[in-house]
């Protein structure tokens, strides 16, 4: 673990550095690995079950299935709905989590609450938005700091797209540099509310916005286009759920960073690309071929 190099890329005539948390580990990678590192490293004797909830293709679900497997815990995961297409054609995070022994339940939240009360059960909130996440993110911050020192970057700008905002928030807490983000799930107000549940305003990252509203999980031609251009021009595959909005936002605000180096945090999520790519291919059939 903790093999996360920093790549230097040139994209649309500008230099960026990319922190490669996608390369951390074959099974336990991306920001979920950072967020759940606390649970990996500490002793939880007495715990037998891991319980969480969220969407049936989530990156967090897959990473928790890996954690449960390593820790020898039984993994119970609760979701509102699993589409019949996914049930009949398991793929992506869903398939991999099932292979790791996940027990998935549709809308049995009564059972979830019952399990969560048990002393031998660890309950983790959707998306891993918890204080314990700071443990692994502080290590990420230290890696960034030592890179900046080595290169003599005193005014580095750090950018990463947010879901719950947990990663961006703790990075801002542990770094002397300004951290910039954008809201992918919900709007800016939602994101600030999420920040506020974990820390006070001093540690809030700066939220950058685009004029156009995008809805989480929906497909947009410009998302696919920037994702593909990045892959072709830099050789790096980014995630298709958060990174397209992240890059469009960053590219739309480059004036703010004119004399500064930018570090983009690659937060993994590549197993999820399998399901996203299938959806894109179905939706834009004519255009992609």
Ligand X SMILES: *Cc1c(COP(=O)(O)O)cnc(C)c1O
Interface contacts to ligand X, rule CB under 6 A: 30-32, 59, 127, 161-168, 239, 242, 267-269
- Return d(Cα 66, Cα 88) in angstroms, integer: 23
Query: In this structure, are residues 223 and 245 in contact, taking their beta carbons and an 8 Å threshold?
Result: yes
Nearest distance from residue 31's CB to ligand X, in Å?
Answer: 5
The total of other beta-carbon atoms located within 10 Å of residue 218's CB is 9
How far, in Å, are 37, 62, 72 from residue 42 at the CA level?
8, 20, 14
Q: Which two tokens stand for residue 211?
A: 């004029």
Intra-chain end-to-end CA distance of the chain, in Å: 38
Nearest distance from residue 267's CB to ligand X, in Å?
Answer: 4
Nearest distance from residue 59's CB to ligand X, in Å?
Answer: 4
Residue 152: partners with Cβ closer than 8 Å, 6 or more residues away: none
Largest CA distance in the chain: 55
- Looking at beta carbons only, is 92 or 269 nearer to ligand X? 269
Query: In this structure, are residues 253 and 153 in contact, taking their beta carbons and an 8 Å threshold?
Result: no
Nearest distance from residue 235's CB to ligand X, in Å?
Answer: 18
Per DSSP bridges, beta strands 6-11 and 14-20 are antiparallel
Nearest distance from residue 245's CB to ligand X, in Å?
Answer: 10
- Which residue sits closest to ligand X, CB atoms considered? 269
- Looking at beta carbons only, is 129 or 156 nearer to ligand X? 129
Residue 274: partners with Cβ closer than 8 Å, 6 or more residues away: 91, 92
Instruction: Let me know if 254 is exposed, middle or buried by CB neighbors in 10 A (0-12, 13-18, 19+).
Output: exposed
Nearest distance from residue 240's CB to ligand X, in Å?
Answer: 9
- Looking at beta carbons only, is 11 or 36 nearer to ligand X? 36
Nearest distance from residue 81's CB to ligand X, in Å?
Answer: 20
- Looking at beta carbons only, is 156 or 265 nearer to ligand X? 265
Give just the sign of the alpha carbon dihedral 182, 185, 189, 190: negative
Query: In this structure, are residues 6 and 20 in contact, taking their beta carbons and an 8 Å threshold?
Result: yes
Q: Which two tokens stand for residue 39?
A: 């649970």
Nearest distance from residue 286's CB to ligand X, in Å?
Answer: 28
């Amino acid at each position: 673990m903790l093999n996360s190099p920093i790549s230097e890329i040139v994209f649309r005539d500008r230099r960026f550095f990319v922190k490669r948390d996608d390369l951390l580990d074959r099974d336990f990678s991306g920001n979920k690995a950072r967020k759940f590192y606390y649970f990996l490293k500490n002793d939880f004797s007495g715990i037998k079950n891991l319980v969480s909830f969220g969407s049936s293709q989530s990156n967090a679900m897959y990473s928790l299935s890996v954690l449960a497997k390593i820790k020898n815990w039984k993994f119970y995961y609760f979701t509102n709905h699993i589409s019949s297409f996914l049930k009949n054609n398991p793929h992506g995070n869903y398939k991999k989590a099932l292979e790791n022994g996940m027990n998935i339940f549709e809308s049995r939240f009564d059972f979830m609450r019952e399990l969560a009360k048990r002393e031998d059960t660890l309950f983790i909130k959707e998306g891993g938005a918890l204080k314990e996440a700071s443990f692994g993110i502080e290590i990420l911050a230290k890696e960034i700091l030592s890179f900046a020192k080595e290169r003599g970057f005193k005014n580095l700008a750090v950018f990463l797209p947010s879901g719950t905002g947990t990663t961006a928030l703790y990075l801002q807490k542990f770094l002397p540099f300004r951290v910039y983000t954008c809201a992918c799930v919900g709007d800016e107000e939602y994101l600030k509310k999420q920040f506020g549940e974990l820390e006070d305003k001093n540690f809030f990252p700066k939220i950058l916005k685009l004029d156009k509203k995008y809805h989480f999980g929906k497909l947009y031609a410009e998302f696919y286009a920037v994702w593909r251009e990045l892959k072709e021009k830099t050789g790096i595959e980014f995630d298709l759920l958060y990174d397209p909005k992240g890059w469009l936002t960053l590219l739309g605000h480059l004036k703010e960073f004119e004399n500064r180096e930018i570090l983009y945090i690659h937060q993994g999520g590549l197993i999820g690309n399998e399901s996203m790519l299938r959806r894109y291919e179905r939706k834009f059939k004519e255009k992609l071929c």
